[in-house]
Every structure is written in C-alpha cells, then in structure tokens.
Amino acid sequence: MDDRYRVEVLGSQAKRDFSCGVDALDRYLLRQASQDQRKGVAVVYLLIDREMERVAGYYTLSTASVRSDRLPENMRVKLPRYEELPTALIGRLAVDLRYQGQKLGGFLLLDALQRCLDTSERMGLLAVTVDAKDDRARSFYEAFEFRPFVGEEYHLYLPVAKIRSLAT
C-alpha cells in the first residue's frame, strides 16, 4: 500500500468521522472501541488516510479459543487432545464508504494476519478466526483461504501455519 495510509492503534485521535454502511460497525468504532481497548478486551487498529487525516478503515484483534471438536478431523489428529485451543479473533473489520472498492479491506486483513503471525512467535496461537456476518463477508474471507469450522459456516479460521507458509 502506498504512503497515503498508515495503520495505528486507536488512541486519542480526533473525532472519528466514519461510516461503512453497517450501523453496528459504525457504532462500535464511535461508541465502544475506546472502552474495549481501555479494558483490555480488544486492540483497535485504524487505517488512517494521511492526506485527509481521516479513518479509512479499522479492525480489532483479541484472543479467543476454539473447541477442538470444531476443527476438521485431518487437522485435529495432528494436535494435542486439548478441549480448547488458542486462537486470535479478528472481531471487526470495516472500510469507510468513501474508501470502498480500493482493496483496503484486503490490506487491513493482511495487516491483521501479519500481526497475528508476529504474536504467534511469542505465544501459542493455532489459528486466526473470524465471524462473518453474511455471505458477502464469508466470501471475502474465503478468498484469503479461511475455512469454516465444522458445523459453523460463518465461523471461519486460517491456521497460523498457513499464514507462515504464505509469508515466506
């Protein structure tokens, strides 16, 4: 991505003028994100348009876990028999309407995956997970090789091992 954008952790930036067309995602950034970050529930990453000093998009990261019986059998047999396994969760990902169609959603996702990969070098992390809100979101994540958990077509994962292999 060119030098027009920077990714930074939510801080005391000026009022966030943001609208992605999904009310819940807009409200989250405007009303809940700062509180979640202060309380250690999630870290919010903003994509800032340097020219306009405007939020072009954002995503959140937090820790999570997944029940091992939700993984496909071919993956489960290679893992320790723990009931729960550690994951990272991309809880929200959105691009402002003024910036949609510029592949910034993919840029934000790749930035999130790189951060998760970096984290996996310091602590256990099996996969990155997302909860797709609808078919369009699910297709977006599947284009980046996310796969659904067993019996959960909108709860998707991408193994850290896969991210690592793509990064090298």
CA distance linking residue 85 with residue 64, whole number of Å: 9
Q: Please name the helix (run of DSSP H) or strand (run of DSSP E) that holds residue 57, with its range, or none.
A: strand 54-67
Q: What is the pLDDT of residue 143?
A: 96
Per-residue pLDDT at 105 = 97
Q: Using CA atoms, how far apart are residues 164 and 159, in angstroms rounded to an integer?
A: 9
Q: Which pLDDT band, with edges at 50, 70 and 90, does 17 fall under?
A: confident
Q: Which domains does the chain have, with CATH numbers?
A: 5-167 (3.40.630.30)
Encoded amino acid at 8, one letter: E
pLDDT in tens, 63-102: 999 999 999 888 888 888 899 999 999 999 999 999 999 9
pLDDT of residue 80: 87
Looking at the annotation, which residues are catalytic? 141
Q: Assess whether pLDDT exceeds 90 at residue 59.
A: yes
